[in-house]
Structure 1
């Protein structure tokens, strides 16, 4: 997002954080309300344009949305959405993307409240690894000819009783309504938002053997010192690395694996 949209979603996040401080706010219900509005706006181009039309006042746009959704969502959801449509957006699509992001944030806040946010992060990561390793499963979950209800059934069968309810809801909505995102990109976006809830970064760590608890702690601490903020480790086992560690944080890659060093040595020998 650029310009006006970036400023508007920043203000909306502050309002969501304020709601999160209220123990009386049902964040799971709020997330569901926001997601239902995302589905509505994704289907209706004209409605997106009306709600972001700069020729209409913010109060007029908010009043229109309130009338449209009257009795269908909670008061907290209506207030949050009212603030969103009063704001300025660089393009209509940015409004919908902002509501979608806040809906995911609300789910993560619910997990943060009950102390399960770390588990949700790990479960999303593990699900991504499972899908990456099973082409047939990935093909089915991303096949546009497979109905949304069938995809939801598949996710329920895979995850029911094995992950937190928040994880299952997030994965289900991603496969049923990807919103032009790949499955991998959607899971990455969830991980980024979860990390932001903790004000920390996420590192993908590839090793040949599982790290001990002490190694995990030392690596996280070293990366935290390097980047100046807490770093959460998602550890992936790959026996092809032979030994050492490969760390990726965003576009940064720190590759200290034995396989890479052997490749480099081999290239030097043939020069």
Structure 2
């Protein structure tokens, strides 16, 4: 988003966050509603343009939003959309994207209020790793030629018994939005959002073999000290790493694998 849209989104996020602190138990419902609103906006370019048109009076835009959304959604969700369209937007798509982000925040707020946000974050990360490893599953869930009902049913079979309601809601949302954004992009965004609420960074660690709990805790302490804030560590296994670990955290990559050191030696010899 450009600056003007980002400012409008941040104002809406503050207002919505205050409501979620009071009604976090309804976070899942609010999330589903927000996703449905975003779908309506993306499905109708004319509606999105009208709601973002700064040449129209804010009151006119608010009235249109009320006419479209109030009969179909809760009072809270309708008021959210009305507040959004009263503000200024650099691009019509930014309203739908903002509602989408607030839907994710709603689901995570529900998890946080139950004291399970860390658990939800872990479940989303494991879902992301499974999809990275299971190519056929990833392709099927991303294929918009396959009906959403069938893809939803497949996602339920894979995850429903293994993750909580917030994680399943977000996994299903990622499936509904695929192939653009990709499943990986959506799930990464959800994991990052969960970490941000907990004021944590996320470190994706690739190792040739599983780390012990003691090793994970030591790595977490080292990274937390280096970055000056709590770091959540998620470990994936890749035999190709040979030995050592590779760490992705933010824009940083720390590669201490034997495979990389071997490659470095080969490159030096070739040169």
1:102 match: 102
TM-score normalised per structure 1: 0.94
Change (3 A) 1:82 1:176: same
Q: How far apart are the structure 1 equivalents of 2:24 and 2:182?
A: 35
CA displacement at 1:179 relative to structure 2:
7.1
CA displacement at 1:57 relative to structure 2:
2.1
2:223 match: 223
Change (3 A) 1:221 1:16: farther
Deviations 1:154-212, CA, capped at 9 Å, x for gaps: 00111121111111111112112337211111111111211111121111111122222
1:264 aligns with 2:264: yes
1:137 aligns with 2:171: no
Q: How far apart are the structure 2 equivalents of 1:73 and 1:180?
A: 26
Deviations 1:34-86, CA, capped at 9 Å, x for gaps: 11111111110000011111012222212221122224222222222221111
**Secondary structure at the counterpart of residue 22 of structure 2:** coil
Q: How far apart are the structure 1 equivalents of 2:18 and 2:31?
A: 15
2:59 match: 59
- Native 8 Å contact 1:25 1:76 kept in 2: no
**Secondary structure at the counterpart of residue 205 of structure 2:** strand
Q: List gaps (5 residues or longer) in structure 1.
A: none
CA displacement at 1:23 relative to structure 2:
4.2
2:196 match: 196
Deviations 1:89-136, CA, capped at 9 Å, x for gaps: 100001110100110111111111112211211111111221222221
- Native 8 Å contact 1:202 1:234 kept in 2: yes
Q: How far apart are the structure 2 equivalents of 1:20 and 1:60?
A: 27
Q: List gaps (5 residues or longer) in structure 2.
A: none
- Native 8 Å contact 1:223 1:231 kept in 2: yes
- Native 8 Å contact 1:204 1:248 kept in 2: yes
Q: How far apart are the structure 2 equivalents of 1:96 and 1:201?
A: 27
Q: How far apart are the structure 1 equivalents of 2:240 and 2:206?
A: 10
1:87 match: 87
**The 10-residue stretch of structure 1 (185-194 or 90-99) with the greater mean CA deviation from structure 2:** 185-194
- Native 8 Å contact 1:19 1:25 kept in 2: no
1:128 match: 128
User: How many pairs align?
Assistant: 271
1:241 match: 241
- Native 8 Å contact 2:25 2:110 kept in 1: no
- Native 8 Å contact 2:143 2:178 kept in 1: no
Q: How far apart are the structure 2 equivalents of 1:8 and 1:24?
A: 23
CA displacement at 1:236 relative to structure 2:
0.6
- Native 8 Å contact 2:205 2:235 kept in 1: yes
